[in-house]
Amino acid sequence: MSHSRFLLPISLTLAASGCSDPKCGIGDAAADGLVASSADVTLTFTTLTAGANNDCPDPAAPAGVTSLTIMGTQEGGTGLFTACVPRPDLLDTQRTLGTTLTSEFQVQDVAGMANNCTYSLDRSHIPTGTAQALNLCGNGIDKAGFILTVNGFLSLTRKCGATTDSIAVALDGRVAVLPQ
């Protein structure tokens, strides 16, 4: 009997068990690796998940590509991080941050609480920078997850008592993202 006859049943068994490609997954990325920070505040986002929710579809996407929503919560707080990727099939290359429907990586919400103040995304300033996925399979919904790297800047509206202002923060990190 040839070796290929032995390998075929093993391959089919692995595929049927739902094993992910070994190139997929979160690797050594931390669950709490996404941080929005400045000299005044640090908001850390954790437990990021991704779902093919089709919240920001790209009409030019090929058949079978569904937009990806990425969500996480503030570590030790009540805040959240939400982004939408119209073309997750392209997320393995650097995508430009933005807030509009035409952005490659749409930052939809950044909110949190720290130092007796609340923070929310200031949409009057367009985020800058890039986001990219590593070890991405299945357009971001593979059970192994992926690593998201973000390197950019955005503005947050800060409310402390009766005072409201806008502050610039770096949005930076290398974070694990698991499927919803």
Q: Quick one: pLDDT at residue 1?
A: 44
Distances (CA, A) of 81 to 11, 37, 154: 39, 13, 13
Question: Which segments in the chain show pLDDT lower than 50?
Answer: 1-19
Longest dimension (CA), the chain: 80
Nearest to 126 by CA among 140, 105, 150: 105
CA atoms 51, 147, 73, 47: torsion sign: positive
**φ, ψ dihedrals at 140, nearest 5°:** 95, 0
pLDDT of res. 97: 98
Q: Residue 11 — φ and ψ, nearest 5°?
A: -60, -45
**164: three-class secondary structure by DSSP:** strand
Domain limits, the chain: 22-179
Q: How does the average pLDDT of the chain come out, rounded?
A: 90
